[in-house]
């Protein structure tokens, strides 16, 4: 039986053997671009040569070589014609003949060919990743090889001779000719930006400096040797290491490649050869070390597009727009930025007061070194701001602590953010007022102030009426400014949210250099501060952790949505700071700390206070869930996120942040780790979450308020009493309310409420979200307008905790 099965297996695999074997590819062989598996694979199966679908939804195929054993199937070479990738429609065929390779479309028309000047006998995909056409009559003579016409990648054992060029892709996934080139043509390795789409070359941003007038001493080959070192070999045989190129400590059992990446960084990567899952390419070393500052030609935009600035993150360039600017192509951060308004010297701007139209925003440690048309000194910062504000040619001013004010015109180029900056140099950006946040559709929370109403009227009324309104607005604004402190008016944003824009320097001053730490929340550290400009108000300044990357651009939108919420049981957001990589939120200060501090302290707080706080939390939550047009799901309700003001009024904090700070993939893990014991079961199940996750967490918090104990108490011996929901259910079933409230006299005198609220909480922590009450029902129950039926047993939470 066994041997029969075995021979069946052998028979079955026989037809495949020629395909798998190490034998060279004979003349007359063809590949067709109809399926993914159409390829010629190297003997070790490490590399494959063949067709690759351009992207999963495309009928176009690339003729390419790729790493065949790793899940990414990373492409290291593709057929090019005049620097354009050769795109073969579905059904094209590649044929190997004595004259070389011919690629024909389904209609038989030639698309591409490779005709070496020697007769070809056969071909092979080698285990090095080199695809070779073997010359007739001499097995070690290659009529053509992919290693001698590289695209953007080189591999170990590959040697570039003088005259070689690598061209970067346009983007990670677009194989068209990109904006950077690597040249090894005159003894030196050069990295050069080009004036895309033309071939014009700017000044190089890296050189190995291995050229010598004495040809014997000059660089001759760029060698990527078997042990993954990359160096230059001179004509005299001497080996020269590349400057700035970190020394390589040998790594065994890895794949290697070096790629001129689309962002201009020449990077050597490694990938573990073992078959463990979740591997990826990692960087061994790169050139240049800081591309943001390395590119310095006065022409061209630099590493990022015009009007943007470059931030170095993990050695790679990352582009950002200044405040009030948007990416030209929102899907491509390298596309440059444009102001979200027209700025110029037109009649519109001339006839109005500059202060009414524009304001200056500060961006510390950002500079655009070129494009100056005026240098004013000695000037203080206010003079510099005013000068730019009133100058219709001025887009940005750079101010430094040498009291110099450099006025810049469009377009801004070579913008960089200095990671090691001290704040001595800052960009002052001229921004049209009211450009942010623009939102007249009204589908957000909270009351809208007068300015937005006027704004809406302005949109649809006559010129005359406009004039009247303008006058009215000016008056209003004037009065408003008079009432506030006049000094900082230029930088505060009078938007419908009344959110203020704070500079980092201002917050630094207010918090005394971020000295007094109030606490560490799920999203960052909170500091106490006192605003100098306002009436000495105490504030809490929350320094956010790094945003989920895809959220960075949503920051202002999200923050303005949070800013539009107004409820006495929500902590009020006063303003924010968005400078460089810093994202800070400024909240009203809450004098009595968190509910957690109150609840788990000795002696336990009064029952009547606990009753009031429960109701306040429920009302705050009801507002978030049902009284805004777009419901805000908190996702992290717990006693640490309920704050108490000087009158012990409970206010929910940190709402609206989970959306911003947790990227979709990471949120499950983060939340589970961060707030074990409060998370609804659906978080574990990867199903869409709704406001019912907050209902679940509220249920747990309500139990904690009733019992004055934490949801999970691991030090308790018995597992079932360690988990509050399990223990509370047991007490409920056994009618042991006295145990639950630890014989609290006031609570026992209010037994019917304790019982009813306990039942409510147990309904809230049901496994099925549909069984849980809505927030509205909760408020009605707690206020005594609705009765509660007997709750079923909640899920065994303890099991779920151990499973994960």
Ligand X SMILES: *[C@@H]1O[C@H](CO)[C@@H](O)[C@H](O)[C@H]1NC(C)=O
The CA-atom distances, in angstroms, between 362 and each of 425, 509, 586 are 10, 15, 17
Size of interface with ligand X, in residues (CB under 6 A): 28
Segment 293-296 long-range contacts (CB within 8 Å, at least 24 positions apart): 293/416, 294/205, 294/206, 295/193, 295/202, 295/205, 295/264, 295/414, 296/203, 296/205, 296/369, 296/414
- C-alpha triplet 668, 673, 674: angle, nearest 5°: 100
Instruction: Note whether 122 binds ligand X by CB under 6 A.
Output: no
Of 34-42, 466-474, 511-519, 695-703, the segment contacting ligand X by CB under 6 A is: 34-42
Closest to ligand X by CB, 170 vs 779, is 170
Question: What character string, x for contact with ligand X (CB under 6 A) and - otherwise, covers 179-208?
Answer: -------x----------------------
Instruction: Note whether 226 binds ligand X by CB under 6 A.
Output: yes
Of 51-59, 503-511, 583-591, 786-794, the segment contacting ligand X by CB under 6 A is: 51-59
Instruction: Note whether 117 binds ligand X by CB under 6 A.
Output: no
CB 428 within 8 A of CB 399: yes
Instruction: Report the site for ligand X in 518-547 (rule: CB under 6 A).
Output: none
Instruction: Report the site for ligand X in 242-301 (rule: CB under 6 A).
Output: 277-278
CB 340 to ligand X: min, Å? 4
CB 633 within 8 A of CB 690: yes
Q: Strand 415-417 to strand 309-313: parallel, antiparallel, or no bridges (unpaired)? A: parallel
CB 465 to ligand X: min, Å? 21
The CA-atom distances, in angstroms, between 542 and each of 520, 527, 586, 654 are 9, 6, 6, 10
Instruction: Note whether 6 binds ligand X by CB under 6 A.
Output: no
Among the listed residues 1, 3, 14, 57, the single contact to ligand X using CB under 6 A: 57
Of 138-146, 387-395, 547-555, 606-614, the segment contacting ligand X by CB under 6 A is: 138-146
Instruction: Note whether 138 binds ligand X by CB under 6 A.
Output: yes
Which residue out of 229, 439, 636, 726 is catalytically annotated? 636
CB 283 to ligand X: min, Å? 19
Among the listed residues 296, 313, 340, 780, the single contact to ligand X using CB under 6 A: 340
CB 277 to ligand X: min, Å? 5
CB 177 to ligand X: min, Å? 9
Instruction: Note whether 56 binds ligand X by CB under 6 A.
Output: yes
Closest to ligand X by CB, 240 vs 454, is 240
Instruction: Note whether 19 binds ligand X by CB under 6 A.
Output: yes
Neighbours of 427 (CB within 10 A): 26
Confirm whether 636 is a catalytic residue: yes
3-state secondary structure of 174: coil
Q: Strand 153-154 to strand 254-260: parallel, antiparallel, or no bridges (unpaired)? A: antiparallel
Picking from 172, 168, 160, 120, the residue whose alpha carbon sits closest to that of residue 144 is 120
Instruction: Note whether 30 binds ligand X by CB under 6 A.
Output: no
Instruction: Note whether 440 binds ligand X by CB under 6 A.
Output: no
Among the listed residues 36, 44, 461, 804, the single contact to ligand X using CB under 6 A: 36
Picking from 653, 513, 675, 537, the residue whose alpha carbon sits closest to that of residue 585 is 653
Instruction: Note whether 335 binds ligand X by CB under 6 A.
Output: no
Of 221-229, 288-296, 561-569, 719-727, the segment contacting ligand X by CB under 6 A is: 221-229
Q: List the helix and strand counts (H, then E) for the chain.
A: 23, 46
Instruction: Note whether 341 binds ligand X by CB under 6 A.
Output: yes
The CA-atom distances, in angstroms, between 339 and each of 72, 205, 318, 320 are 38, 29, 19, 13
CB 418 within 8 A of CB 364: no
Closest to ligand X by CB, 86 vs 633, is 86
Of 224-232, 280-288, 398-406, 780-788, the segment contacting ligand X by CB under 6 A is: 224-232
Instruction: Note whether 804 binds ligand X by CB under 6 A.
Output: no
CB 55 to ligand X: min, Å? 6
Closest to ligand X by CB, 475 vs 687, is 687
Instruction: Note whether 176 binds ligand X by CB under 6 A.
Output: yes
Neighbours of 91 (CB within 10 A): 14
The CA-atom distances, in angstroms, between 6 and each of 3, 21, 458 are 5, 20, 83
Among the listed residues 30, 44, 227, 549, the single contact to ligand X using CB under 6 A: 227
Instruction: Note whether 666 binds ligand X by CB under 6 A.
Output: no
Instruction: Note whether 140 binds ligand X by CB under 6 A.
Output: yes
Instruction: Note whether 35 binds ligand X by CB under 6 A.
Output: yes
Question: What character string, x for contact with ligand X (CB under 6 A) and - otherwise, covers 563-602?
Answer: ----------------------------------------
Instruction: Note whether 170 binds ligand X by CB under 6 A.
Output: yes
CB 71 within 8 A of CB 58: no
d(CA 778, CA 619): 9
Compute φ and ψ for 800, nearest 5 degrees: -65, -35
Closest to ligand X by CB, 245 vs 523, is 245
Contacts of 360 (CB under 8 A, 6+ apart): 385, 388, 389, 397, 428, 429, 430, 431, 490, 491
d(CA 799, CA 803): 6
Of 133-141, 311-319, 400-408, 523-531, the segment contacting ligand X by CB under 6 A is: 133-141
Inter-axis angle of helices 692-707 and 751-764, to 10 degrees? 150
Instruction: Note whether 663 binds ligand X by CB under 6 A.
Output: no
Instruction: Note whether 141 binds ligand X by CB under 6 A.
Output: yes
3-state secondary structure of 456: helix
Instruction: Note whether 211 binds ligand X by CB under 6 A.
Output: yes
Instruction: Note whether 83 binds ligand X by CB under 6 A.
Output: no
d(CA 612, CA 353): 52
CB 683 within 8 A of CB 693: yes
d(CA 436, CA 440): 11
Instruction: Note whether 212 binds ligand X by CB under 6 A.
Output: no
543 is in an annotated binding site: yes
Active site (catalytic) residues = 636
Going by the annotation, the residues of the binding site for ATP are 543
Contact residues for ligand X (CB under 6 A)?
19, 35-38, 54, 56-57, 138, 140-141, 170, 174, 176, 186, 211, 225-227, 229, 231, 239, 277-278, 340-341, 435, 438
Residues at the binding site are: 543
């Amino acid at each position: 039986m066994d041997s029969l099965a075995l021979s069946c297996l052998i028979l079955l695999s026989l037809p495949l053997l020629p395909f798998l074997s190490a034998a060279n590819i004979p003349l007359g062989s063809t590949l067709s671009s109809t399926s993914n598996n159409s390829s010629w694979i190297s003997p070790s199966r490490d590399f494959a040569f063949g067709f690759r679908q351009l992207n999963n939804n495309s009928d176009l195929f690339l003729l390419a070589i790729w790493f065949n054993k790793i899940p990414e199937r990373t492409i290291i070479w593709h057929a090019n014609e005049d620097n354009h990738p050769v795109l073969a429609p579905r059904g094209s065929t590649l044929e190997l003949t004595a004259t070389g390779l011919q690629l024909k479309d389904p209609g038989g028309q030639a698309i591409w060919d490779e005709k070496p000047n020697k007769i070809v006998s056969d071909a092979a995909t080698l285990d090095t990743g080199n695809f070779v056409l073997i010359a007739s009559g001499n097995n070690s003579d290659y009529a053509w090889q992919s290693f001698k016409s590289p695209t953007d990648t080189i591999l170990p054992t590959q040697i570039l001779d003088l005259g070689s060029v690598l061209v970067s892709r346009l983007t990670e996934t677009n194989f068209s000719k990109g904006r950077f080139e690597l040249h090894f043509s005159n003894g030196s390795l050069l990295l050069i930006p080009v004036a895309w789409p033309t071939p014009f070359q700017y000044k190089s941003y890296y050189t190995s400096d291995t050229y010598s007038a004495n040809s014997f001493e000059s660089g001759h080959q760029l060698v990527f040797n078997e042990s993954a070192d990359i160096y230059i070999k001179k004509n005299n045989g001497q080996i020269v290491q590349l400057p700035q190129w970190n020394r390589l400590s040998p790594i065994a059992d890895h794949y290697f490649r070096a790629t001129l990446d689309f962002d201009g960084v020449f990077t050597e990567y490694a990938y573990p050869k073992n078959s463990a899952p979740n591997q990826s390419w990692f960087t061994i070393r790169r050139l240049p070390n800081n591309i943001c500052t390395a590119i310095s030609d006065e022409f061209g935009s630099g590493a990022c597009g015009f009007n943007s600035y470059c931030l170095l993150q993990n050695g790679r360039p990352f582009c950002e727009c200044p405040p009030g600017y948007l990416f030209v192509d929102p899907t491509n951060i390298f596309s440059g930025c444009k102001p979200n308004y027209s700025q110029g010297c037109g009649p519109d701007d001339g006839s109005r007061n500059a202060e009414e139209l524009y304001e200056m925003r500060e961006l510390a440690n950002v500079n655009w070194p070129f494009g100056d048309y005026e240098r004013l000194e000695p000037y203080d910062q206010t003079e510099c701001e005013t000068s730019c504000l009133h100058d219709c040619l001025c887009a940005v001013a750079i101010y430094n602590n040498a009291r110099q004010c450099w006025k810049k015109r469009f377009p801004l180029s070579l913008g960089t953010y200095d990671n090691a900056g001290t704040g001595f140099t800052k960009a002052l950006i001229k921004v049209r007022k009211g450009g942010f946040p623009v939102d007249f559709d009204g589908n957000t929370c909270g009351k809208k102030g007068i300015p937005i109403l006027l704004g809406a009227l302005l949109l649809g009324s006559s010129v005359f009426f406009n004039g009247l309104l303008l006058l009215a607005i000016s008056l209003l604004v004037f009065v408003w400014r008079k009432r506030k402190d006049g000094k900082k008016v230029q930088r505060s944003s009078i938007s419908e949210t009344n959110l203020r824009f704070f500079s980092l320097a201002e917050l630094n001053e207010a918090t005394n250099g971020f000295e007094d730490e109030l606490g560490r929340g799920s999203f960052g550290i909170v500091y106490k501060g006192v605003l100098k400009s306002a009436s000495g108000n105490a504030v809490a300044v929350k320094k956010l952790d790094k945003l989920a990357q895809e959220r960075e651009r949503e920051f202002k939108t999200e923050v303005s949505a949070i800013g539009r919420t107004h409820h006495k049981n929500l902590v009020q957001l006063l303003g924010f700071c968005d400078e460089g990589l810093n994202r800070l939120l400024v909240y009203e200060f809450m004098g009595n700390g968190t509910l957690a501090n109150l609840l788990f302290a000795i002696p336990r707080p009064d029952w009547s206070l606990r009753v009031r706080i429960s109701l306040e939390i429920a009302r705050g939550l009801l507002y978030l869930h049902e009284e805004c047009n777009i419901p805000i799901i908190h996702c992290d309700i717990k006693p640490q996120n309920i704050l108490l003001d000087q009158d012990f009024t409970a206010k929910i904090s940190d709402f609206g942040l989970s959306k911003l700070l947790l990227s979709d993939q990471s949120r499950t893990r983060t939340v589970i780790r961060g707030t074990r014991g409060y998370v609804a079961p659906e978080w574990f199940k990867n199903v869409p979450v709704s406001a019912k996750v907050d209902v679940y967490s509220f249920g747990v918090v309500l139990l904690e308020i009733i019992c004055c104990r934490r949801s999970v108490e691991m030090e308790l011996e018995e597992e079932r009493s360690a988990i509050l929901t399990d223990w509370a259910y047991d007490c409920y079933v056994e009618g042991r309310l006295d145990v639950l409230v630890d014989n609290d006299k006031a609570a026992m005198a209010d037994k019917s409420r304790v019982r009813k609220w306990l039942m409510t909480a147990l309904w809230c922590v049901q496994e099925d979200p549909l069984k849980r009450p809505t927030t509205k029902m909760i408020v009605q129950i707690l206020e005594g307008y609705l009765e509660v039926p007997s709750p079923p047993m909640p899920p065994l939470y303890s099991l779920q905790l151990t499973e994960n």
